[in-house]
Amino acid sequence: MVLACLEAENVEVIFGFPGGAVLTLYDEIFKKGIRHILTRHEQGAAHAADGYARASGKPGVVIATSGPGATNLVTGIATAYMDSIPLVAITGQVATPFIGTDAFQEADITGITMPITKHNYLVKDLEELPFILKEAFHVANTGRKGPVLIDLPKDLQAREGEFSYPARVELSSYKPTYEGHPGQIARAANAIKKAHRPLIYAGGGVISSGAHEELLELSRSLSIPVTTTLTGMGGVPGDYEYFLGMPGMHGTYAANNAINESDLLIAIGVRFDDRVTGKLETFAPRAQVIHIDIDPAEIGKNVAAHIPIVGDVKLVLKELIKRLQSAEIQDTSAWRATVLGWKSSKPLRYRQEPGSSLKPQFVIEELYRITGGEAIVTTDVGQHQMWAAQYYQVKKPRTLISSGGLGTMGFGFPAAIGAQIACPDKQVICIAGDGSFQMNSQELATAVYYQLPVKVAIINNQYLGMVRQWQQFFYEGRYAHSSLAGSPDFVKLAEAYGASGFRVTRPEEVAVTIETALKTPGPVVIDFQVDPEENVLPMVAPNTSIVEMIGGEEE
């Protein structure tokens, strides 16, 4: 029944790790010859399924056994939940008579994951299983997408029954709104017509909805500047003339000041998270807010919306664009000149001197230049993640894959494996920190076994870099346990797993090593040994206005 469901849902690959409570299911996987990717840790399997979903737009599927196998999925499930990624997790459970007895490898995984799933199920009746499977995929991949978990007791896996897969599901308590309210869309159109300083603030909902073309059309047709969140990158091309970069804690001068001075903020598929808003009382103080989102719970949660529109971003933007065609709007040329003046006069800055210590920003700019921005880039979390967001100009949707909401170290490399399986003809590059990479470096075995040509660029500063930066700025330079002295030789580690490894210590070695790595078959690890005290700037201190940027104006 499980495998028939996966076939009916056009699932092409499963990520997982077997164990006692899923042996019957794995025996069927073996018999049917379904493609299964064996990772070396359940967390790696969850992140790989997540990366697959982000790169392909289709739900990722992950399987784990009961107890520790299931609990090892929790970080990956929470990561997907925070970023609204469709994921179906199937966990084994002890046999039905033993549930609640503290049996060997028993864990209440439905209770554990209730706060981090859209919905979850403990299967108690075999006849319900086809409906549960259908519902799980429906819930995961509709509305505001997210992870769903099915906990399947071991004894039920061994039973047989009549299988009839429902063609569709009707859930009375779950009916996402897709079409925006016409009256609210009309109000939004009128507000845009009257605005003197409009600004588009777009997020991951644009990517999830596939609304990048509509977003670009709205901006281009009315010459409205755009800023996107980390998960919204690729919503407009990184080199688009009206793109201001990322806003917030490590946002650009132009993006943060545009939010501060805007009189109309068009928020599309965003949730106004704290890393963007800074001190809420000072966020967009002059702006009327239009907020478009498929999840009504997000509207008004953090920032009051003057014109709320509940609906699918793509559908709402289509209607909004129709209402704005041939419309008479205010002359916003002075506003554009001001904003683009900030963009040109106060760009992101760093200085790479020949023969000096290697700057991480230079490494990322070279990765962009050499790949032409055509690679799928995954990141872990920390300084390297922010440098990637700042200096890698993301051209297309679903080509920057990063843990935004949960900020999960160890995400990038297994996510790159999932993305490579989803897009076998694409070049996939994982930009990792030396701390983050060690969290799931065992997945080198997975990449080597399946001969996946993922290239890993480790930005190695021998620190938990973002922790060290905060300690420098806010803890008077007391670097409490943020040094990573004693990390392995990453070249030897790669070679021990059967991958290729390179080390770079000087600026003049960067380009030739990247080019060599891209031509080398199979997985490659490049250890870029960068300046250990380089900081991510600009930076906004916690609970301050986003225009109070450390390093926002000076070199």
Provide the token pair at 319. Answer: 């209607």
Q: pTM to 2 decimals? A: 0.97
Dump pLDDT digits (tens) for 472-531. Answer: 999 999 999 999 999 999 999 999 999 999 999 999 999 999 999 999 999 999 999 999
Q: Is the pLDDT of residue 553 over 60?
A: no
Q: Which of 466, 502, 529, 549 is catalytic?
A: 466
Q: What is the pLDDT of residues 46-77, one digit of tens each?
A: 999 999 999 999 999 999 999 999 999 999 99
pLDDT for the residue 141: 98
Percent of the chain whose predicted confidence (pLDDT) is above 70: 99
Answer yes or no: 241 catalytic: no
Confidence band, pLDDT 50/70/90 cuts, at residue 555: very low
pLDDT tens sequence across 264-303:
999 999 999 999 999 999 999 999 999 999 999 999 999 9
Q: How far apart are CA 348 and CA 547, in angstroms?
A: 15
Catalytic residue among 118, 134, 145, 154: 154
Q: Is 233 a catalytic residue?
A: no
User: Averaged over 150-164, what is the pLDDT?
Assistant: 95
Structure tokens at 62: 């992950």
Taking the C-alpha atoms of residue 118 and residue 140, their distance in angstroms, rounded to an integer, is: 7
| Strands annotated E in 341-483 | 376-379, 400-401, 428-433, 455-460
* CB atoms inside a 10 Å sphere around CB 170: 9
Report yes or no: 502 and 524 within 8 Å, Cβ to Cβ.
yes
> Among this protein's residues, is 426 annotated catalytic?
no
Residue % of the chain over a pLDDT of 90: 97
Amino acid at 461: N
Catalytic site residue from 42, 106, 298, 534 = 42
Tokens 């300046």 belong to 531
* Active-site residue (options: 7, 30, 32, 104): 104
Whether 156 and 123 have beta carbons less than 8 Å apart is answered as yes
Give the mean model confidence (pLDDT) for residues 315-343. 96
pLDDT tens-place string over residues 454-488:
999 999 999 999 999 999 999 999 999 999 999 99
Given this model, what pLDDT does residue 270 score?
Answer: 98
Residue 554 has pLDDT above 80, yes or no: no
Residue 124 pLDDT grade (very low, low, confident, very high; cuts 50, 70, 90): very high
Tell me whether residue 42 is one of the annotated catalytic residues: yes
Q: For the chain, which domains are there? A: 2-157 (3.40.50.970), 182-345 (3.40.50.1220), 360-543 (3.40.50.970)
- Point out the catalytic residue in the list 98, 105, 131, 279: 105
> Is 1 considered catalytic here?
no
Handedness of CA 249, 255, 260, 264 (dihedral sign): negative
Distances (CA, A) of 328 to 194, 219, 319, 451: 9, 15, 17, 57
